[in-house]
Structure 1
Amino acid sequence: MTEEGTNQIGNNFKYVVDCSLPALATHMRVLGVDTLYDPTFSRNYILFLARRDHRIIVTQSTKLRSMVELILFNRERKRLKITEYQELYESALDRENNRTQERLFEHEKSRIKHLSSGQILERIEMMKEEVAMDDEDWFEYKGRHEQLRELVDKLKLVFILDRAFDHCTKCNGKLIRIDDKSQVVGEVENNVYNNNKNFSRCGDCGMLTWGTMPNRDQDSFQKAIRFCEKYSFKQT
């Protein structure tokens, strides 16, 4: 895959998946995609994560979809309000510097006609920041049940072997390879310890994994690769 093609895939974005699609969240992490998921996440917290981290929301929830649409609607209202305040700001400067007749919108007279130009400018700056935060395409939603194939195609999630299997499927943390497997003695069953040479530990939750990248000849790993290849976006 060329560098240009790699830049266009969905793997380069960050996501937050709600409780309606747990299997997809696990699959995305296996593909090496930065994916937050926790069945206890509230809708408001998912919206917060999307805004804070510039994450795309993936959900089947119509309620969450409605909340997203309301946010986008309010963003447009803020943009219109900024234009309105810009005119009020010019009017306030006119009033203060030239002592001319103030020009205010009828529905704003009772509320802000006594604001100074400095106070109006503060409001403009705050609203501009809010609109800028909402201006990114952070939200991706599904209104009906979709198959895994359709989701990976929609999000353009590509299987890249060098990127895969490096995220914890439990918490999304980065997996750290353990060079000396004697460090995990007593943490796994004897047959697991004896049959695997390579182990990794999640840097966040501490979960142990084994039989991943270094053991490419293992049947379980080859099955995982075939599954990822089947359920990943195919560029044309």
Structure 2
Amino acid sequence: MTDKISEEIHQPNENNQQKEEEIILLENKENDIQKEEIIFGNDGKYILDGTLCGVGSHLRKLGVDAVYSNEYSDAYILYLARNEDRMIITKSTKLLQRIRQQEEKLENYKKKIKILGDKALVESLVQQRLMKPKTEEEIEEERQELIEIVQEEEQQKYKYYIVKSIGKYDQLKEVVNEFKIIFKKENIFARCFSCNGQVIEVKKEDIEHLVFEKTYLNTDKFTQCQSCNQGELYIDSN
């Protein structure tokens, strides 16, 4: 019904001037968000769907903050992407459909805000029984609520990239080139293979009880994950 209503032709009146200005400000804010520079590269934060776990594994070995699992549901991927401000990398049509449904819902909210801001149009729609009768206070309250929702949603828009290549290594090459991820020797294995946590160097004597005696005697550098429950230990073979 929103699409049908939004097609109504109407002329703005002076009483709606302030409301129209608010809509313009809202749209300008959206443009500012779209133009905002997003940092990717080696310092970016990524989440990959279950079909791209192989790509995620290689990114993690490069020291990139990449989370992935073939057990993640689409809803959980969207949750992590929004709450941790991650770029979604995907080939999943179902996941893309969910993202675009959210985008469409947001556009419908914007249409309704414009409709509620036009008193003459609202009266016309009520007369045509396309809208339930409401007081001016109720209409304005609903409009303000929608404006707040749109502003909040715009601040948390999903960022996503659709992988086009087929085959793990071609996909990895595409992602690395797209996000300008480069090889840095100091970053190699800086992320835990198991949990994506930060891996840091630890004192040799602190992990003596965790390794074989021969390994302990023949190795000078050990690193350990600071996040996962296992405290994953890594041995420098250089």
Structure 1 length-normalised TM:
0.69
Unaligned 5+ runs, structure 2? 1-37
Change (3 A) 1:182 1:73: same
Instruction: Tell me how large the CA RMSD over aligned residues is.
Output: 2.8
Establish whether residue 185 from structure 1 lines up as the match of residue 185 from structure 2. no
Once the two structures are overlaid, the 10-residue window that deviates more, 25-34 or 118-127, is 118-127
Q: Take 1:11 and 1:105, find their aligned partners in 2: how far apart are those partners?
A: 55
Unaligned 5+ runs, structure 1? 1-6, 92-100, 219-236
> How far did 1:21 drift?
1.7
Once the two structures are overlaid, the 10-residue window that deviates more, 16-25 or 187-196, is 187-196
C-alpha contact 2:74 2:95 (8 A) present in aligned 1: yes
Which residue of structure 2 aligns with residue 129 of structure 1?
Answer: 152
Which residue of structure 2 aligns with residue 96 of structure 1?
Answer: none
Between the aligned residues of both structures, percent identity stands at: 29
Q: Take 1:140 and 1:35, find their aligned partners in 2: how far apart are those partners?
A: 14
> How far did 1:48 drift?
1.0
Once the two structures are overlaid, the 10-residue window that deviates more, 54-63 or 139-148, is 139-148
Q: How does 1:94-113 map to 2 (within 5 A)?
A: 103-104=122-123, 106=125, 110-111=131-132, 113=134
Which residue of structure 2 aligns with residue 142 of structure 1?
Answer: 163
> Which of the two has greater helix per residue?
2
Which residue of structure 1 aligns with residue 177 of structure 2?
Answer: 153
Which residue of structure 2 aligns with residue 78 of structure 1?
Answer: 109
Q: 2:43 aligns with which of 5, 12, 16?
A: 12
Q: Take 2:139 and 2:175, find their aligned partners in 1: how far apart are those partners?
A: 52
Q: Take 2:141 and 2:95, find their aligned partners in 1: how far apart are those partners?
A: 38
Q: 1:21 aligns with which of 44, 52, 70?
A: 52
Residues 147-191 of structure 1: per-residue CA shift (max 9 Å, x gap): 222221123211123344321121111112112x12222323344
Residues 23-78 of structure 1: per-residue CA shift (max 9 Å, x gap): 21122122221111233211110011111122111122222222223233333333
> How far did 1:143 drift?
5.0
Change (3 A) 1:103 1:66: closer
Instruction: Report the 3-state secondary structure (helix = DSSP H, G, I; strand = E; otherwise coil) of the residue aligned with 2:101.
Output: helix
Change (3 A) 1:191 1:76: farther
Structure 2 length-normalised TM:
0.69
C-alpha contact 1:61 1:142 (8 A) present in aligned 2: no
Which residue of structure 1 aligns with residue 197 of structure 2?
Answer: 173
Change (3 A) 1:12 1:202: same
Establish whether residue 33 from structure 1 lines up as the match of residue 54 from structure 2. no
Aligned residues: 192
Amino acid at match of 1:106: L
